[in-house]
Amino acid sequence: MMGSENDEESHLHSSKEDMEKLFLREDGDPLTKSNVNGDKSNSNYRSAMSTLFDSRHPSIVVTPADSDPLFAPPSYYSESRSPRSKPNGGDRVSSYLEPPSYADVIFSPFDDISEINGSEDGHSQSSDSLSRSPSSLSSDYIKITVSNPQKEQEATNSMIPGGSTYITYQITTRTNLSDYGGSEFSVRRRFRDIVTLADRLAESYRGFCIPPRPDKSVVESQVMQKQEFVEQRRVALEKYLRRLVAHPVIRNSDELKVFLQAQGKLPLATSTDVASRMLDGAVKLPKQLFGEGGGASSVEVVQPGRGGRDFLRMFKELRQSVSNDWGGSKPPVVEEDKEFLEKKEKMYDLEQQIINASQQAESLVKAQQDMGETMGELGLAFIKLTKFENEEAVFNSQRARANDMKNLATSAVKASRFYRELNSQTVKHLDTLHDYLGLMMAVQGAFADRSSALLTVQTLLSELSSLEARAEKLEVASSKVFGGDKSRIKKIEELKETIKVTEDSKNVAIREYEQIKENNWSEVERLDRERRADFLNMMKGFVANQVGYAEKIANVWTKVAEETRQYDRESS
Amino acid sequence: MESTTEQPRNISGSMQSPRSPSSQPYLSVSVTDPVKLGNGVQAYISYRVITKTNLPDYQGPEKIVIRRYSDFVWLRDRLFEKYKGIFIPPLPEKSAVEKFRFSAEFIEMRRAALDIFVNRIALHPELQHSEDLRTFLQADEETMDRFRFQETGIFKKPADLMQMFRDVQSKVSDAVLGKEKPVEETTADYEKLKHYIFELENHLAEAQKHAYRLVKRHRELGQSLLDFGKAVKLLGACEGEPTGKAFSDLGTKSELLSIKLQKEAQQVLMNFEEPLKDYVRYVQSIKATIAERGTAFKQHCELAETTKLKEINLDKLMLTRSDKVGEAEIEYREIKAESEEATRRFERIVKRMEEEIVRFQEQKTEEMGVAFHQFAKGQARLANSVADAWRSLLPKLEASSTV
């Protein structure tokens, strides 16, 4: 059914356009005239708007609007102002309260040009990044663009014909931060590099709400057209990187800097090397088992055993988290911090509600979309009727009716356009909800870091206590042997060494845990603040948008009501 | 006995109210008070039909009868039979499915459509004098039932039966006359009219289809606003101030607008989509009339042919001084009378149609104009409420975000 509708539409488009021109130009359509109310647009903004249409929310099908010649983007945006391109929040306040109506301004609070920086006072949003709450007025900025996907061949397989290929993307950074070498530079990266970056960040920034990286989505790559898939991935990568640089702490990370700047192969330890890391761990295993050597260093210890470095501990922690204790070891992670538990639950609730709201937002967008489409189709049907009546007219009554139909049709088409514009704006506003779903995942990640750090501490504590118990037993046994028990004494000494190392590890782990707790806390605080501000902005944008377009639509229909005034039969 | 719940429209002739001096003849009808009767499959709706008139043939000044849908069908079929050439006003569809649901809106829409139907008949210069109309408006329920059963009963509609009969008849005479091709009028104007009517139906059907979809879209948008409002309120409950309150306000407005959208959906259905449907039905009624005219034309042609043949035959017999002359002469005269009658019938149809077309076009321009006007007003009203509702939130939102 979609197919036939599309055919119909495309067939109608050309005649539609003609009819449009025929009907709309006559009326001096304000939409095609240049704006009377002060054209504050700039060509940058217009081109930005058109690029924004590309990076739309993938689950929302807005294709008819895109390909619809009626839509004619440039002329509309000549009417729009972008209050949000100004860094000063004061301007924005006045734009909302400006009399007499919002109909003069098509609100378009998303300016792709606005930079992600400290000077933004949170009102500016691009479709690809979250706005930031009011902060200091520094003027540093960093902007990332992902573009230019290209197919490349696996170097190692170049000997073998038809070796595996992969896609690389050009990642361009524009910045004035002093940490970076230049003001604009590009590197080529493949998706695997993103995974590496994400993994390294996860290790280095435990406890932080790190934006989640795009999915690997193997299934989708089979189902979608290659081009579509690549484009979707490009968009997702861009979004991800922009979120990373928007994070006040992560933007300064070495890993990110290296990722953005280092030419050639990404000089970060890859995540795919699990096998060899397991091997490393296995090599150390005998030493650990027999208490020789330092085993893992203290630093390595604080990483969760899952990392594969400490094979033995990983095993222990796994056992613990499965909570199938078979005597001896302490109970699994007990989070006693009530405040934390409450917060965790609150976050969970919040996530559920955001999911729900996001879904309903999608339904709303679809309904608005459909309304616009059907209104347009209705207008078109009446345009055809008008033509028909005019061609076949024998009586004046027919001509009069044709004229009435023309007025109706013209307005219906205009209203249809307004609905669709309204909708594309709505999408961008309500996308904030969707963005925050990603962030909620980041919060989960941060909380998980905390739990696993606590698990590490508790594991070490229990290890320590069992080592000490063993040492004590040996001492008791040794003291019973007259004249000293050489072998036992030796063992006791070795144990005491291990205990010391474990003690150190425990202290490091505790410090790490405390640090993570702090990170959690500050991140959650920051997130709460930003989220509230972002949501408020979202609402403001959404509502202002609705007002603006409702006014425009009202005007369109009021005109028709005027034109058909003679048919008013109500006594009121 | 002023017991009407609705103000009957005074339509025929003068614009004076029924209470003014009845020097001007008037006939005012209204269909009111739908009541559901019976159960299950047998359920039907009965209506009060109130007639106010000073016409001599009627039991004045007011008469109230109870009628059901099939009575209206009876009336239409009778008029269609008797007043060939006139575009008989159309009836709303029987709609077996809707009947079961019998929603308040459906009942009201049907009542309104039936009211329009009867009024159009009462307004028509020829139809308003119809005896069948008088029966319909005056006869008691038993009599009406009898009439109706006679005609519709368990058989097909008389119109259908007659049509079948005529088809057979015409096929026979085609064979007799050795004609294969159907006989049709070929005047340019009439051709143009036929083409116009057939094309018009297509265009109107499309417009009506989209109008109906538009009604659905209103309902869907209303529903999604409701769901959105609820979701947003729940989200607000998770957030602290001022965001929480803002979400709550947003949700409330959303729910409010949802109601407005549902209301407008109903308005669009009643005041815009229904008139378009009525327009389509009217065009279909005209098509039926065109078919009638076609049949009448064929009869007129065939009888004229037959008469000619009989005449030739008679002349032949007269020349040969046959003793069959007498018989042939009688036959000839009979056929000639029939032929003249058929021609008269045909020409009356043609004349009626000429007048009807003018009326039809004017009527439709008026009715569509009204429909468009109401639609535009409704949409403007809706859009303004939407703007007002959202606008009222802005100061608060503004205040919240500068905190």
Kindly list the strands in the beta sheet with B44-53, ordered across the sheet, starting from the edge strand earlier in the chain.
B27-37, B44-53, B62-68
- Rounded to whole angstroms, the Cα distance separating B33 from B107 reads 10
- Rounded to whole angstroms, the Cα distance separating A441 from A420 reads 32
pLDDT for A481: 76
Give yes or no for a cis peptide into B61 (omega within 30° of 0).
Answer: yes
- Rounded to whole angstroms, the Cα distance separating A482 from B393 reads 89
pLDDT for A407: 94
Most B-contacting residue of A121, A374, A380, A555 (CB-CB within 10 A), to test interface? A374
Which residues of chain A does B246 touch, with a Cβ-Cβ cutoff of 8 Å? 535-536, 539
CB atoms near residue A92 (< 10 Å) = 20
pLDDT for B77: 93
Low-confidence ranges of chain B (pLDDT < 70): 1-22, 95-102, 151-182, 403
Contact B170, B84 (CB under 8 A): no
Integer angstrom CA distances of residue A527 from A209, A535, B241, B278: 8, 12, 15, 59
Contact B28, B46 (CB under 8 A): no
At a CB cut-off of 8 Å and minimum separation 6, what does A407 contact? A559, A560, A563, A564, B372
Find the closest chain B residue to A374 by CA distance: B214
Which residues of chain A does B362 touch, with a Cβ-Cβ cutoff of 8 Å? 395, 397
pLDDT tens by residue, A410-439: 999 999 999 999 999 999 888 889 888 888
On average, the pLDDT of chain A sits at 71
Q: How far is B278 from chain A (nearest CA, A)?
A: 16
Integer angstrom CA distances of residue A425 from A49, A95, A120, A175, A242: 11, 17, 20, 29, 21
Q: Do A364 and B207 touch (CB under 8 A)?
A: no
Interface predicted TM-score (ipTM) of this complex, two decimals: 0.85
Contact B72, B79 (CB under 8 A): no
Contact A548, B350 (CB under 8 A): no
pLDDT for B263: 95
pLDDT for B15: 42
Q: Please name which of B297, B194, B111, B210 lies closest in space to residue A412, comparing C-alpha atoms.
A: B210
- Rounded to whole angstroms, the Cα distance separating A324 from B162 reads 89
Residue A456 has pLDDT above 70, yes or no: yes
Kindly state the average pLDDT of the residues A488-495. 85
pLDDT tens by residue, A366-406: 999 999 999 999 999 999 999 999 998 889 999 999 999 99
Across the interface, which of A350, A384, A557 has its CB nearest the CB of B376?
Answer: A557
Q: Do A370 and B220 touch (CB under 8 A)?
A: yes
pLDDT for A413: 96
Q: Identify the residue whose tokens are 């959906």.
A: B265
Q: Do A371 and B203 touch (CB under 8 A)?
A: no
Backbone angles phi, psi at A86, to 5 degrees: -85, 135
pLDDT tens by residue, A36-84: 333 333 333 333 333 333 444 333 333 333 333 333 333 333 333 333 3
Name the residue type at position A550. A
Which residues of chain A does B203 touch, with a Cβ-Cβ cutoff of 8 Å? 381, 384-385, 388
Q: How far is B393 from chain A (nearest CA, A)?
A: 8
Q: Do B199 and A384 touch (CB under 8 A)?
A: no
At a CB cut-off of 8 Å and minimum separation 6, what does A348 contact? none
Look up residue B56 and give its DSSP letter.
T
Q: Do A371 and B373 touch (CB under 8 A)?
A: no
Q: Do B235 and A568 touch (CB under 8 A)?
A: no
Look up residue B128 and give its DSSP letter.
G
Q: Do B395 and A569 touch (CB under 8 A)?
A: no
Structure tokens at A440: 């909620």
- Rounded to whole angstroms, the Cα distance separating B402 from A57 reads 29
Give yes or no for a cis peptide into B8 (omega within 30° of 0).
Answer: no
Which residues of chain B does A366 touch, with a Cβ-Cβ cutoff of 8 Å? 224
* Secondary structure of B21-46 in HEC code, one letter for each residue: CCCCCCEEEEEEEEEEECCHHHCEEE
CB atoms near residue A430 (< 10 Å) = 24
pLDDT for B391: 95
pLDDT tens by residue, A260-295: 888 888 888 875 554 444 444 444 444 444 444 444
Contact B250, A543 (CB under 8 A): yes
Most A-contacting residue of B368, B372, B403 (CB-CB within 10 A), to test interface? B372
Residue A134 has pLDDT above 50, yes or no: no
Which residues of chain A does B242 touch, with a Cβ-Cβ cutoff of 8 Å? 532, 536
At a CB cut-off of 8 Å and minimum separation 6, what does B66 contact? B46, B47, B48, B49, B141
